[in-house]
Structure 1
């Protein structure tokens, strides 16, 4: 069995198993910390791309 989530923006693709939801629940803190670290790293690197002006 699986669940399909219907979001208010009309997005409804993907089927998610109970095992996947269980994984999200049991690993919530670790997954959330990893997500926050990745967002912070992305934001830190956003403006670090060198810009070259070529005449």
Structure 2
């Protein structure tokens, strides 16, 4: 069941600024960076199938949200430019990400550093055409 306080009154995909903007009836506005949404996708691919930190997502700095579909009254299904589209972002999860994004960013950047990952996609090797 959806708590009315977690249901946004307006949803905007801000492609230029790479933000998902959620506005609420009480005047609150949350802006969630696309990269944050992608690396904290609630999908099994990202979170894993059991306990633990899940799969570290790397190279997602330039990812875009390419689509958003409402799922009933409880969630938003986002599609990303890297083909990922299997996570259902509940309204309460989106609020948690928005309100605590500094902590999520700090944890993500620390994990990238600890595991030798990068926010940038690997450069494609230059190939000489015959």
Q: TM-score range by the shorter chain?
A: 0.5 to 0.7
Show structure 1 runs of 5+ residues with no match. 44-55
Residue 25 of structure 1: how far off its partner (Å): 0.5
Show structure 2 runs of 5+ residues with no match. 1-73, 117-130
SS of match in other structure, 1:5? strand
Superposed CA RMSD in Å reads 1.2
Instruction: Specify the structure having the higher radius of gyration (Cα).
Output: 1
Larger fraction in strand: 2
**Normalised by the size of structure 1, how large is the TM-score?**
0.67
2:115 is equivalent to residue 30 of structure 1: no
Q: Deviations over 1:7-45 (max 9, x none)?
A: 2343321211010000001110011001101111111xx
Counterparts in 2 of 1:36 and 1:10: CA distance versus 1, 3 Å: closer
**Normalised by the size of structure 2, how large is the TM-score?**
0.31
Misfit runs of 4+, over 3 Å: none
Larger fraction in helix: 1
